[in-house]
Amino acid sequence: MNWQQEKPCDRATIIEDIKTGKARGYGLRTGKISGGIVAVDCDGEAAHELAESLGGLPATVSFTSGKDGRAQYLYKISDKYWHDIKTQKLRTEKTGADGKEVLLELRWDGCQSVLPPSAHPETGQYYWIKSPEETAIADAPRWIIEKMRSGTARTETPLLNSITSDDIPLTICLAKETRKLIESGSPDGQRGDDAIKVAQDLLGTYERL
């Protein structure tokens, strides 16, 4: 069954299939097909700790299978980033109770997350932590988008605030001759002309950055 390529089911069909017992649950296909929703899947406490160290998970629609430390958080990503992101699995280097490494997965195109109150083979069913009735799906934090862009072609300007004025001093971007004038000064009789050169280089560089 190639569900990744199927057309999404309409709401009425899903409700009818659950009511009649034809389906025991339903899932959300993440990525472009859902309008830009990413599911952040925390595979255990170590994944939550990693997410917190990277910037944290703002309040949003979230749910769990009921297993210890397991939860997923839904966020929206603007379509201006869709061409440049993909699913990522971030390692924690810590082992869970099942003997497997705990992962923090950022689920995008080609992935599906089972939603409450769908049946779960071990815990009985999935449960809301924060349901869509009590909270809206929040915008994805900047760190999530950056991690999903890792390893893909960067064809646009980096995210705002990802580079600050403290990271790259403006003088590094100036011409070598201009930097020399700033560092060493200008001889008498040339200060006016040199000052204009420095000002023009500074303004041009600032506008380009």
E-assigned strand segments in 34-157: 37-42, 62-64, 71-76, 88-95, 101-107, 112-115, 119-120, 124-125, 127-130, 138-139
Contacting residues for 95 by C-beta, under 8 A, at least 6 apart: 101, 102
Same domain, 19 and 87: yes
- Per-residue model confidence as pLDDT tens digits over 108-162: 999 999 999 899 989 999 999 999 999 999 999 999 999 999 654 443 444 444 4
Same domain, 105 and 180: no
Pull the structure tokens for residue 26.
């339903």
pLDDT band, very low/low/confident/very high, at 167 (cuts 50, 70, 90)? very low
Domains held by the chain: number: 2
Q: Give the pLDDT score at 116.
A: 93
Asked whether residue 117 is assigned to any structural domain, the reply reads: yes
Same domain, 97 and 187: no
Same domain, 118 and 61: yes
- Per-residue model confidence as pLDDT tens digits over 8-58: 667 787 667 777 877 777 889 999 999 999 999 999 999 999 999 999 999
CA distances from 39 to 74, 101, 136, 165 (A): 5, 19, 14, 33
Provide the residue range defining the domain that includes 120.
11-149
Asked whether residue 123 is assigned to any structural domain, the reply reads: yes
Same domain, 23 and 93: yes
pLDDT band, very low/low/confident/very high, at 85 (cuts 50, 70, 90)? very high
Q: What is the mean pLDDT of residues 194-207?
A: 63
Q: Give the pLDDT score at 165.
A: 45
Same domain, 138 and 179: no
- Per-residue model confidence as pLDDT tens digits over 56-67: 999 999 999 999
Same domain, 57 and 25: yes
Asked whether residue 131 is assigned to any structural domain, the reply reads: yes
